Amino acid sequence: MMLFHSVSYLILIFIAAHAKPTFKEAPLSSRVIYQSPDSLFIENIAVRASSELLLTSVASPTLFALDPTTVNGTLQLVHTFPNANSLSGITEYHPNVFAIAASVIDPTSGWIPGSVVIWSIDFNPPAPVARILAAVPGANSTNGLTALPSEPDTLLLADSFAGIWQIDARTGSARLALQDPTMLPGGPGTLGINGIHVRDEHLYFTNLQQATYARVPLCVEHGNLTAGGSTEVFSTLGAKQGPDDFTFDRQGRAWMAVHPGALALFSQSSDQKGNWTQQTAVGNANGTDVGMIQPTSVAFGRGSSVQGNTLYVTTDVGQVLAVDIIE
Ligand SMILES: *[C@@H]1O[C@H](CO)[C@@H](O)[C@H](O)[C@H]1NC(C)=O
Ligand SMILES: *[C@@H]1O[C@H](CO)[C@@H](O)[C@H](O)[C@H]1NC(C)=O
Ligand SMILES: *[C@@H]1O[C@H](CO)[C@@H](O)[C@H](O)[C@H]1NC(C)=O
Ligand SMILES: *[C@@H]1O[C@H](CO)[C@@H](O)[C@H](O)[C@H]1NC(C)=O
Ligand SMILES: *[C@@H]1O[C@H](CO)[C@@H](O)[C@H](O)[C@H]1NC(C)=O
């Protein structure tokens, strides 16, 4: 009996130590954890180790925080950036230090050339400290922002009209590093490259207007980032689908916000070659599901196992949605 107990105890320990997360089968459902009273267009999300959500809006120069563990919480104002009326990409490039893309958008003509600035906000001091990392005067738009995992002071900014800017957070220098037809919009007045993330020395990106999900190998030559090979477009989404920002899970699958109304899940074949298959996790391709309206960005919760099993989705109708994805 004792032996039996010890053996099952050991088996339990073994299972716990080697357990792979079990993802729920799609379709999944979402719940609203926050609804902005004035339908604030929420553009992007980053999650602090404390579990607090950081939210940017293309319609506000203020960085907001939301506690996802409270029911019907309210947005806290973290910092309002000067000389800006819009924020887009946000990424944690050092522990508890975030980089944020700010700019000025004219309601009729769009981005004001020369207005793009990358800021840093450091949550390590008792009160967050903001400072300018770089001006990017050549950028004509801002969208996703990420850092090289191997060199976190190298920031990459998606310019939806041009490609990828490389920004040195230490020196403030900025150069247009990657330009490729797969990053450009297919016509005037629309947006090309949007969500960006680096994984396995590749830049993965979506193109909103071309409705593609693609990657390009990265190479750093004397500090200058270049394409280490040709771009692979491995998914073309359906007509009228607008892929926005995305995040990778622990299995390397990509959870993607797709306009007008889907949270899509992309999985690659086990040999890591070939195209990724697409499933709709929440919502549908025509935007008729009230549980997923105009999603813009996706991030996993942090700070506890419950949070880590929750995917947060922002929308441009002012919502933060939660999707429980692990059993
Ligand atoms: C949260 O807000 C929703 C929508 O306004 C409301 O229906 C719900 O009752 C609220 N929940 C709590 C616990 O206050
Ligand atoms: C920004 O826009 C100007 C004016 O249209 C254009 O000349 C310039 O090439 C653009 N910059 C980039 C990086 O595409
Ligand atoms: C890096 O790129 C910049 C401009 O993009 C260029 O002026 C510089 O010569 C490059 N450096 C090297 C080492 O190639
Ligand atoms: C992969 O997807 C691309 C873009 O949708 C398509 O052109 C290509 O034919 C696909 N390749 C395979 C092997 O299915
Ligand atoms: C929307 O898409 C779903 C499946 O993606 C389909 O079942 C439904 O009929 C569509 N509704 C409309 C109004 O097209």
Structural contact between residues 242 and 316, judged by C-beta atoms closer than 8 angstroms: no
Residue 302 CB partners (closer than 8 Å, separation 6+) = 47, 48, 49, 50, 51, 308
pTM: 0.91
- Burial (CB < 10 A; 0-12, 13-18, 19+), residue 228, is middle
Q: What is the mean pLDDT of residues 195-207?
A: 97
Average pLDDT, the chain: 92
Q: What is the mean pLDDT of residues 213-236?
A: 95
CA distance 149 to 252: 15
Residues 35-91 have pLDDT tens digits of 999 999 999 999 999 999 999 999 999 999 999 999 889 999 999 999 999 999 999
What residue's CA is closest to ligand 5, atom 5? Answer: 284
Helix, strand, coil shares of the chain, percent, nearest 5, are 5, 50, 45
CA distance 321 to 313: 5
Q: Considering every ligand atom shown, identify the ligand nearest to the alpha carbon of residue 179 and give its number.
A: 2
pLDDT for res 20: 60
Peptide bond into 125 cis (omega under 30): no
Q: Considering every ligand atom shown, identify the ligand nearest to the alpha carbon of residue 177 and give its number.
A: 3
Q: Which of 38-47, 240-249, 252-261, 270-279 is least confident? A: 270-279
Residues 152-196 have pLDDT tens digits of 999 999 999 999 999 999 999 999 999 999 999 988 889 999 999
Residues 95-124 have pLDDT tens digits of 999 999 999 999 999 999 999 999 999 999
Q: Which of 193, 179, 167 is nearest to 227 (CA)?
A: 179
- Mutating to test ligand 2, I would choose from 103, 136, 140, 178 the residue with most ligand atoms within 8 A of its C-beta, which is 140
